[in-house]
A and B are shown apart, each in its own frame.
Chain A
Amino acid sequence: METAVTKTGAEDKTWGGGNKPLKVSYGKMMMWFFILSDALTFSGFLAAYGFSRFKFIDSWPIADEVFNHFPFLHGVDAPMYYVALMTFILIFSSVTMVLAVDAGHQMKQKKVIWYMFLTIIGGLIFVGSQAWEWKNFIKGEYGAIETRGGQILQFVDADGHRVALKDVAVLDSHKEREQHERKNGLWFQKEGTLPTYTIGEIKTGFEKRSDLLIRTQILNEKGEKTVLSREESWRRLQADAIGIVEGANLQHNEYGTPLFANFFFFITGFHGFHVFSGVVINIIIFINVILGTYERRKNYEMVEKVGLYWHFVDLVWVFVFTFFYLV
């Protein structure tokens, strides 16, 4: 705001602060350079993701198999539809934002209020969708076996369809292992949640169902996961299997290399945090618009500045969408 700047009386002189080569206000210029630095932060994350992916180029999880949920369609294989929908929601909220900026230029307060409201709603739907996406990712669907070398083994039937652990395991009613809680130890310690099944139960189940095969992380030349023969499957299971993985956290995930889940949590989480803070900032400006602050200021540039930030969030999502879900 110009009124906040102390006048020196030398504004018209080139070296007296009168020269404005970029012809933008201080706030808008700083928003642009903040966006530049933030873009570099995100690029750092995405480039690191690319590094890890190139490192494990022949064993990276296939996104279509991981993100294939759609609300109310249980058990339906719907790769990418939901993320595509999320992308549309975010692009659309970007459109309503730019319409709000446009209305601001024409000093139409009512229209600015309406469009900013739509933008905020779009942002909230997006954050909610991302939370749902995280929930599915963390919960997992089929479960997998972890080997000594940190590899993931998944079960498939003769047709190559995934089989969940619960359909493999034959429950052992004389299980000796019990969850250790704070109350039943000598020291007041507890352990992490035990997996639903034990390795023994899975092995028994695998032996009983002769149609089951094991699928490894390694991609074949067609870009599909390698399925082992029955004998080889049984050998891997006996020799290497040490644990059960259900869902995903930062150490293990049932989809493949741990780095995949780490980058998923980190990048979409950092982006989700940007969307969330964008919504908060939008709400603050929204309230200011309703109160008529910018009518009195005779200038809606503040809406334009938060608009820049909001579009940037959309811009980042376009790249996250490509590198996480498409490529």
Chain B
Amino acid sequence: MAHDTAHHESNTAKIWKVFILLSVITIVEVILGIIKPAFLIETTVISMKLLNWIFIILTVWKAYYITWAFMHMEGETKGLRRSVVWTGIFLICYLIFILLTEGDYVYEVFKAGHKSWDF
């Protein structure tokens, strides 16, 4: 069996710490989303607003904590961890890359094409 019940000490303190961290990240996201600092919107990094990059990085950071601490991925074997996490990350990055590139292409066609789509 996976768990030897006698040797499990409580992780309560760590759980609350992760909860506080996740809450703080969410609060930061919401505050940034409401005030929308001008310099973060005006700065563009790899054809996206810096603010959006910050949101995405904070989200991935949150996702990491949920998976590692709450879903206890850190305690699983390397094999399970990699087969789940790497498979997901690889396929998701691949799909996003393809679809966003295609979406941007379609946008250019709409904008530069002979036909008006807003008739």
A residues lining the B interface (CB < 8 Å):
2, 21-25, 28-29, 32-33, 35-36, 39-40, 43-44, 47-48, 50-58, 64, 79-81, 84, 87-88, 91-92, 94-95, 97-99, 101-102, 105-107, 147-149, 151, 223, 298-299, 301, 307-308, 311-312, 314-315, 318-319, 321-322, 325-327
Contact = CB atoms under 8 A, between A and B. Distances in A.
A107 B79 CA distance: 28
Interface string B12-49: 10011011001100110110011000000100000000
A106 B52 contact: no
B114 interface: no
Contacts of A28: 2
Interface in B42-82: 52, 55-56, 58-59, 62-63, 66-67, 69-72, 76-77, 79-80
18 contacts: A22-B77, A23-B76, A23-B80, A39-B88, A50-B99, A50-B100, A88-B26, A95-B16, A95-B19, A98-B15, A99-B15, A102-B12, A102-B15, A106-B8, A312-B71, A318-B62, A321-B59, A322-B55
Q: 7 nearest interchain CB pairs? A: A54-B103, A105-B8, A51-B103, A51-B99, A322-B59, A149-B118, A22-B80
B30 A84 contact: yes
Contacts of B118: 147, 149, 151
A256 to B, nearest CB: 13
A59 to B, nearest CB: 9
Contacts of A106: 5, 8, 10
A54 B77 contact: no
Nearest to B38: A222
Interface residues of B, number: 58
Contacts of A307: 71
Contacts of A58: 107, 111
